[in-house]
Amino acid sequence: MTASRLLMLARSARNASCGSARQQQQQQQQQQRPWAGWRGGVGAPSAAAFATQAAAPAPAKRLGLAGVRHIVAIASGKGGVGKSTVAANVAVALATRLGLSVGLVDADIHGPSLPTLMSLEGEPLATPDGLMVPPENYNVKMISMGLFTEDDAPIIWRGPMATKALDKLMLGTDWGRLDVLVIDMPPGTGDTQITLGQRMPLSGAVIVSTPQDIALLDARRGAQMFRRVRVPLLGLVDNMSHHSCPACGHVEPIFGQGGVQRVAEEMGLEVLGQVPLDSAVRKHSDEGVPVVVAAPESKSAAAYFQIAGRVWEKLQQADEEAARRRAAAGGGGGGGGGAGPKITVG
């Protein structure tokens, strides 16, 4: 059953039971925001409604990803390494420093944090054809399950339901024309990561890790997972690489030193940047202002700008290589910014 059919049946049932003016007003509001009231939580009927709509992918002509040039996953094999903060700052750096059209997806269905990091809230409105209109801040469009939930409401869904909801967020959002869509992946190598790697045309993945050995073990697993589903690895981010004392300038490698560089060399990858452990990043993140906006001259912001620059350079190199292959095959040239990626549905 399609999402539009589901909504039509629900509205018909309401109209048959009561024709009051109040219900007619609610119906008009529902047409503008068909997911209004979809709140995650234990026993919430709206959670099932969200997943039910997601279970029926939209027709190809309505896929919100049609105008997206590149999709990049920011991932880690382990939680707590600062992946979401990296994803938010890299996305904003791509938009504000490089002037690109950028979108951001919070793929962590069970633990969404991007609405806080990006200072966005409220359920999105809908286009006439039923796509969600992503809210925007810092020149970045963002969609997250956190826009549909209360701050303390848990989303207790099994893997298949969470995967369907992610489909809805990815394919059911009107992204328009984007140079880069950044995906903040959930930690681990489970259903969500495999599904995205196999079904979405990812241009590449960035692995975030801290230098400590226990984090690097899971970073290796995350990198190998992307390789198995044939997603190019753009490089590693050495997050919380060191702490500089603001009083005396002493540099302390709190989580170890050289671990991310060592793993990168072993796997034939590049360290895209080293982000220091900085209390300003924590402070500005809690306030909903990425450090690349709040303190663009800081060392932390410089690291994020470097990472964003290297990611974009690698994506451009991939475009050029694809154009050369097409030319060699007799398919003509082109800059890689054509009709958008081919999406696998179903």
Neighbours of 257 (CB within 10 A): 15
Q: Please, are residues 83 and 185 in contact by the beta-carbon 8 Å criterion?
A: yes
Answer yes or no: pTM beyond 0.75.
yes
Asked whether residue 337 is assigned to any structural domain, the reply reads no
Asked whether residue 87 is assigned to any structural domain, the reply reads yes
CATH number of the domain residue 255 falls in:
3.40.50.300
Asked whether residue 176 is assigned to any structural domain, the reply reads yes
| Per-residue pLDDT, 332 | 55
| Per-residue pLDDT, 341 | 55
| Per-residue pLDDT, 296 | 96
Say how far apart CA 314 and CA 320 lie, in whole Å. 10
105, 123, 121, 7: which is closest to 64 by C-alpha?
A: 105
User: CA end-to-end span of the chain, whole Å?
Assistant: 14
Q: Which domain holds residue 311?
A: 68-328
Phi-psi category of 122—alpha, beta or left, where left has phi over 0 and alpha has psi -120 to 50? left
Question: What are residue 87's phi and psi, to 5 degrees?
Answer: -60, -45
Asked whether residue 343 is assigned to any structural domain, the reply reads no
203, 275, 198, 208: which is closest to 235 by C-alpha?
A: 208
Residue ranges in the chain modelled with pLDDT below 70: 1-62, 256, 331-346
Asked whether residue 56 is assigned to any structural domain, the reply reads no
Q: What is the pLDDT of residues 215-230, one digit of tens each?
A: 888 888 889 989 988 9
Asked whether residue 262 is assigned to any structural domain, the reply reads yes
Q: Are strands 136-137 and 140-144 parallel, antiparallel or unpaired?
A: antiparallel
Three-state SS string over the chain comes to: CCHHHHHHHHHHHHHHHCCCHHHHHHHHHHHHCCCCCCCCCCCCHHHHHHHHHHCCCCCHHHCHHHHEEEEEEEECCCCCCCHHHHHHHHHHHHHHCCCCCEEEEECCCCCCCHHHHCCCCCCCCECCCCCECCCEECCEEEEEHHHHCCCCCCCCCCHHHHHHHHHHHHHCECCCCEEEEEEECCCCCCHHHHHHHHHCCCCEEEEEECCCHHHHHHHHHHHHHHHHCCCCEEEEEEECCCEECCCCCCEECCCCCCHHHHHHHHHCCCEEEEECCCHHHHHHHHCCCCHHHHCCCCHHHHHHHHHHHHHHHHHHHHHHHHHHHHHHCCCCCCCCCCCCCCCCCC
Number of structural domains the chain divides into: 1
| Per-residue pLDDT, 49 | 46
| Per-residue pLDDT, 14 | 41
**Cα four-point dihedral sign 129, 131, 134, 139:** negative
